[in-house]
Amino acid sequence: MFLYLGGLPMKTSPSLQGLRGSSRHASINARPSSTTISPARKRVLIVDDNPLVRKAVCSLFTLDGFSVCGEAGDGVQAIEEARQTRPDLIVLDFSMPVMDGIRAAKALKQIMPDVPVVLFTAHANSALEKHALAVGIAAVISKQEQASDLVAKAHDLLSANCEVETRISDRLYSVTSCQRQAK
């Protein structure tokens, strides 16, 4: 499968094959969307054990005007990277070696409780969603959804007023509302 990021197509791993788009391609514009958070670029930490998925997700956020402040391949690395880079948002895979996304999110929420964490996973289901929300994860986005849904959720979570929603398959669950001051 190939993920189109506004330049040359990039070969991705099977874990991104569920990203929808025409002919199984996800495409995004090369310039930031009108919803890009300004004036300061928001910093995002990307955590996934698959380097190709990590690179694709980093590209999605960068092209949409975010600053990728760090990357990690497992939960332990995510905690260390978050301590060093102090991100505004963390995108975290669930299934990773050393420490899974749920355990990492729980530790991250203790260190930085105001930083939203998005679980971006191929293993999305109702049980995981409930567990994720219980440890403080703000949203669960399935890798079966469009890639743009992940970036759109990041914008929503970082805006002054947001409603936290979890998207699994074609169902949309409203979980809670939150009041956040824009940084």
| Model confidence pLDDT, tens digit, residues 94-107 | 999 999 999 999 99
Categorize the per-residue pLDDT at 39 as very low, low, confident or very high, splitting at 50, 70 and 90. Answer: very low
Categorize the per-residue pLDDT at 13 as very low, low, confident or very high, splitting at 50, 70 and 90. Answer: very low
- With 0.85 as the threshold, say if the pTM is over it: no
- Closest Cα to residue 97, out of 80, 79, 112, 77? 77
Res 134: pLDDT = 93
| Model confidence pLDDT, tens digit, residues 125-180 | 888 899 999 999 999 999 988 888 999 999 999 984 344 444 444 444 444 434 44
| Model confidence pLDDT, tens digit, residues 70-82 | 999 999 999 999 9
Measure CA of the first residue to CA of the last residue in the chain; give whole Å. 38
| Model confidence pLDDT, tens digit, residues 43-54 | 999 999 999 999
Q: Among 63-72, 82-91, 106-115, 157-166, whose mean pLDDT is lowest?
A: 157-166
Res 70: pLDDT = 96
| Residues shown for the chain | 183
Mean pLDDT, all residues of the chain: 75
CA atoms of 157 and 80, how far apart (whole Å): 23
Res 41: pLDDT = 85
pLDDT exceeds cutoff 60 at 182: no
